[in-house]
Amino acid sequence: MKISIITMFPEMFGSFLQGPVLRRAVRKGALEIEVVDLKDYAPGSFRHIDDSPFGGGRGMVMRCQPVIDSLRAVAPAAGGKSRIVALTPAGSVFCQKKAREFAQISHLVLVCGHYEGMDERIYRFVDEELSIGDYVLTGGEPAAMVVADAVVRLLPDVLREGSADEESFENGLLEYPQYTQPADYDGMKVPDVLLSGNHALIRRWRRKESLRRTLERRPELLAKAELSEEDEEILRELKMGENLKGGIFPPR
């Protein structure tokens, strides 16, 4: 997969590109990543990328020409199979399902806005508008890093096999709690079951804690998750069936 990031501030990506997962993905040939400097597409000695908004108002708006020229230069590079995504708080909210979808495509182009945002006409050249959450960043660069990171770790051979599969959101639930050495830290003990060596009990405990945590923190996820009969049994065990108002899991 190739990821192209279009930005006014390429230097912001320096240490991001040096991260272990990205580096491993590049080393294994699963990823090619480029950071495209918008200033290279802004003519004149001032190389100005922004201008004041028509109609007045505060702030500056990114101009069509540098952004659209950069897209024209970058997107055909992958034989017209590029997905152009603009980062904007007005986009649909990025999620794990979208990261999985992006991990399947051959060329992802992430366009970072700045200032008050981009000239609306630029969006005609964009396939999708994405937000990373309901808050406003100064620029799209941190959002592009979030999207690229979430996608790259899903590429084949980048993580150890299966290690992404049980993580939060992968099966519609939040992940169970994790512990490491020591088994007793200052009187805070690891649950006995995790030290038991009984894999069936450990699997069930993890599933139960995953269900408990999801219900307590993100009940709306639980209502959409695919649940097995065992899950329903666990929920009843937790006496949580009644908590799901409307009786999504009524006692049999």
Ligand X SMILES: C[S@@+](CC[C@H](N)C(=O)[O-])C[C@H]1O[C@@H](n2cnc3c(N)ncnc32)[C@H](O)[C@@H]1O
Query: Residue 113, interface with ligand X (CB under 6 A)?
Result: yes
DSSP string, the chain: -EEEEEES-GGGGHHHHTSHHHHHHHHTTS-EEEEEEGGGG--SSS---EEPPTT--SS-EE-HHHHHHHHHHHGGGGTT-EEEEEEEEEEEEP-HHHHHHHTTSSEEEEEE--TT-B-GGGGGG-SEEEESSSS--SSSHHHHHHHHHHHHTTSTTTSPTTTTTTSTTTTSSPPPP---S-SEETTEEPPGGGGS--HHHHHHHHHHHHHHHHHHH-HHHHHHS---HHHHHHHHHTT-GGGSTTTSS---
89 belongs to the binding site for ligand X (CB under 6 A): yes
Select the residue interacting with ligand X from 131, 168, 171, 243 (CB under 6 A).
131
If the CB atoms of residues 142 and 177 are measured against ligand X, the closer one turns out to be 142
Does 112 participate in binding ligand X (rule CB under 6 A)? yes
Q: Which of these ranges, 82-90, 119-127, 150-158, 209-217, lies near ligand X under the rule CB under 6 A?
A: 82-90
The piece of 137-145, 208-216, 230-238, 242-250 that touches ligand X (CB under 6 A) is 137-145
Question: Which of these ranges, 63-71, 127-135, 227-235, 240-248, lies near ligand X under the rule CB under 6 A?
Answer: 127-135
Piece of 32-40, 114-122, 172-180, 212-220 that binds ligand X (CB under 6 A): 114-122
Q: In whole angstroms, how close is the CB of 83 to ligand X at the nearest point?
A: 16
Shortest spacing between CB 19 and ligand X, in angstroms? 20
Bridge partner residues of 131 (DSSP): 93
Q: Nearest distance from residue 112's CB to ligand X, in Å?
A: 5
Query: Which residue, 56 or 79, has its beta carbon nearer to ligand X?
Result: 56
Single out the residue of 117, 173, 174, 211 in contact with ligand X (rule: CB under 6 A).
Answer: 117
Instruction: Note the residues at the interface with ligand X (CB under 6 A).
Output: 87-90, 112-114, 116-118, 131-133, 135-140, 143
